[in-house]
Amino acid sequence: MIATAPFGRTGHHSSQVIFGAAALGGMRQERADEVLEVLLEFGVNHLDAAASYGDAELRIAPWMPAHRNKFFLATKTGERTADGARAELERSLERLGVDSVDLIQLHNLVEPDEWEIAHGKGGAIEALVRARDEGLVRFIGVTGHGTRIANMHLRSLERFDADSVLLPYNFSLLGNDQYRDDVDHLLAVCEARNVAVQTIKSVARGRWSPEITRRFSWYEPITDPEALGRAVRFVLARPGLFLNSSSDARLLRPTLEAAAGASAQPTPTDADMAADLDSQGITPLFDGADLERI
């Protein structure tokens, strides 16, 4: 079983691996049902969806009547205005088949112009706070990609007391000194304010080669079992971090197995992780260029 830990100030003890529901976006319902059984097998009790994850919310909906009380349910809105965010939230509730969600997150809030709209008068934050007051959501968070996002999350936390953040975290990305420093600063602030921290791209190997066209995630994942296990344990070794599983559902079981057995395995050293960079050809996903906006 996957260990649980307090998810920030929410009062919920979430599994240290959170299910990244993007994996359900293109699935048939029958296959999605099989995935749910894997989550129940390992005690995963936190689902992270988004309005933009294809049919993910629709695939989750049939599970809710029987399993709603087993899961902390999160989704995201990519809208930046109050009206847009409210409409997208209401659509997500309808698609999920629920009256409320536990967590609504501003999706990939990294660009300064979008940030100003979301946090300004008539922005998405206004709508989400109102939805919280109405009982449609319980908590509000912010997510993002790229090497600028840790610093942008710090800016967001200065403006609004969010309950959670989500950002990329793996050994190769932390090789960027500026990003590592920004992450360390962000994590210190989150610890002081009891803000939950979710991580993504933990098992990323790098960008896809153009020759590979059959893809189940937008980045190429690590598939070597030993290297994948070390990548998972590297994230979970840092107190307070949650690991969001890959959108490649084929990696779900090995990721959960690695997490479930983490306490019985040695924490990987920097030398171990550096060796994997070489042997697996792992490279940073983000370099300040074209992928920053994805």
pLDDT value at position 212? 61
Tens digits of residue pLDDT in 178-190 = 999 999 999 999 9
Q: How many CB atoms lie within 10 A of CB 103?
A: 25
Query: Mean pLDDT throughout 34-41?
Result: 96
Query: Rg of the chain's alpha carbons, rounded to an integer?
Result: 18
Question: Which tokens belong to 249?
Answer: 């559902």
Question: Which tokens belong to 49?
Answer: 């969806």
Euclidean distance between CA atoms 200 and 68, whole angstroms: 24
**Which of 32, 36, 77, 35 lies closest to 55, judged by CA?**
32
pLDDT value at position 218? 73
pLDDT above 90 (res 169): yes
Euclidean distance between CA atoms 67 and 76, whole angstroms: 20
Stretch among 127-141, 151-165, 210-224 having the lowest mean pLDDT: 210-224
Res. 216 pLDDT band, cuts 50 70 90: low
Question: What is the domain partition of the chain in residue ranges?
Answer: 4-293
**Which of 11, 22, 3 lies closest to 166, judged by CA?**
22
Query: Mean pLDDT throughout 67-92?
Result: 97
Tens digits of residue pLDDT in 204-215 = 887 756 666 565
Question: Which tokens belong to 44?
Answer: 């995963």
pLDDT value at position 40? 96
Name the class of domain 4-293.
alpha beta
pLDDT value at position 71? 97
Mutual angle of helices 112-119 and 124-133, in 10-degree steps: 40
Euclidean distance between CA atoms 25 and 39, whole angstroms: 16
pLDDT above 50 (res 133): yes
Q: How far is CA 66 from CA 90, 104, 222, 239, in A?
A: 22, 22, 34, 32
Euclidean distance between CA atoms 157 and 163, whole angstroms: 9
pLDDT above 80 (res 254): yes
